[in-house]
Amino acid sequence: MFSRHVRYRVVLFAVTLAGVTYLDRIAIGVLAPSIMRDLRISQLQMGFVFAAFTLAYSLFEIPTAWWADRIGSRRVLTRIVLWWSAFTMLTGAAISYPILLVTRFLFGVGEAGAWPNAARVFSRWVPAQERGRVQGVFFAGAHIAGGLTPAIVAWIALFLPWRFVFVVLGCVGLVWAFSWYRWFRDEPREHPAVSAEEVEYIEATRALPPHESHGGWLAVLRTPSVAPLCIQYVANCYGAYFFMTWLPTYLVKARSMQAIELAIFSGLPLALSAIADIVGGVATDALTRRFGSRFGACSVGFVAYVLATAAMLTGTMTDNPRLAGTMIAVAGAFSMLVLAPSWSTAIALGGRNTATLSATMNSAGQLGAFFSPIILAALVQRFGDWRLPLHVVSALYFIGALCWLVIQPSRRESGDNQVEMAERVVAL
């Protein structure tokens, strides 16, 4: 039986992919105390283990995405998930610090390119006027999984040693990869379950140039708006990694939180971010339909970063610890409103090089994430003031807002015409 909405099943596959990526990334942080004890490694050494993933992820993001633009996301995403699942399981086999360091670096090599490949899938399967909310749902899946991962991993660890926990988590990825390769196709018209009507609708409204050569990474770098798009994403990832790494320590050292309060305010940014992901996507699509693609994406990006800047400064300057924790979490959520317009813009600018262009943006962001915990530690050690690192985050958010004033989300004449046609279809 044919379905008119096979593209929604594709989106569901992508959302589960986002969830599995966060499951495997965050699990090692939950199991870190047991790993450090058994392998006899220090906190600093464990910090390098965490950073090894981010470094590899950034370095191999663009080559993997470039490969996907050549041969398709079906095969490349299958390879990605099989690779990272294998090294997730091999993490449990590490018997020394050097082996653990190399294993997590190779884990990052394997996972690199996952999200740009998802963007490439959306560029082929999702009409332009639906991409904002689809990106919002995608990132909400990642953040919800990230919020649930500590509890899931802690529960599994009640029954299994930490080494076998990694084996269980790796098996989840193997199931996903097998199901993906068996069911997915790179183009809607290649999928046996997609009706002719749905193929016609997707191809008419996806704003993808019908004939375009793959210009490679140099062509991507020459694309207008890529530089400000990358800069604003550095701000996003720099702030996000503060929430993932140093926020609990900040709440203890600077705000004297303990026990239940610490647990609540440490998890609050991810919880609010899941809501912000959806809101950002819906707002982007709604404003795009009404005012055009530039206003739709850029207004959400600009306003989100301005609000994030104000909320972070408020949280930094207030003396009330609960208000501080709340406002810092709100700042993180506002910054996540930017995800949907960022990735939708990367799709619009990338065309048939969507994976490569979105990987360029994400690689820039990951470099920000890599330096985020290091810069914080250096500032606190040098000046003894926990407010300074948060002021850096505020400044980056403000720079991100300025970037959205010059970003042009659509540059291709054929793409613009298709966007306009898509908007007319929706209006009807």
Query: What's at 368, amino acid-wise?
Result: G
CA distance linking residue 132 with residue 342, whole number of Å? 9
What's the confidence (pLDDT) of residue 317?
Answer: 93
Domain locations along the chain: 6-427
Q: Please state, as a whole number, how many other Cβ atoms lie within 10 Å of the Cβ of residue 11.
A: 22
CA distance linking residue 218 with residue 125, whole number of Å? 26
Tokens of 185: 């196709």
Tens place of pLDDT per residue across the chain (428 aa): 445 589 999 999 999 998 888 787 778 877 888 888 899 988 678 878 887 888 898 889 888 888 888 899 999 999 999 999 999 999 999 999 999 999 999 999 988 889 889 988 998 899 888 888 888 888 888 888 877 777 788 888 889 999 999 999 999 999 999 999 999 999 999 999 989 899 999 888 887 776 555 556 666 777 888 999 999 999 999 999 888 777 877 888 899 888 778 778 887 888 899 899 999 999 998 998 888 888 999 999 999 999 999 999 999 999 999 999 999 999 999 999 999 999 889 988 887 788 888 889 999 998 898 888 888 888 888 898 989 999 999 999 999 999 999 998 875 434 444 444 444 434 43
What's the confidence (pLDDT) of residue 3?
Answer: 52
CA distance linking residue 102 with residue 98, whole number of Å? 6
Tokens of 67: 């490969």
DSSP lists the bridge partners of residue 44 as: none
What's the confidence (pLDDT) of residue 217?
Answer: 62
CATH of domain 6-427: 1.20.1250.20
CA atoms lying within 13 Å on the CB side of residue 398: 11
What's the confidence (pLDDT) of residue 287?
Answer: 92
**How far, CA to CA in Å, does 208 sit from each of 64, 116, 150, 229, 410?**
21, 16, 39, 20, 11
What's the confidence (pLDDT) of residue 422?
Answer: 42
Main-chain phi, psi angles of 3, to 5 degrees: -115, 145
To the question of pTM greater than 0.85 for the whole model, the response is no
What's the confidence (pLDDT) of residue 215?
Answer: 55
What's the confidence (pLDDT) of residue 415?
Answer: 41
Please, are residues 70 and 216 in contact by the beta-carbon 8 Å criterion? no
What's the confidence (pLDDT) of residue 418?
Answer: 43
CA distance linking residue 328 with residue 330, whole number of Å? 5
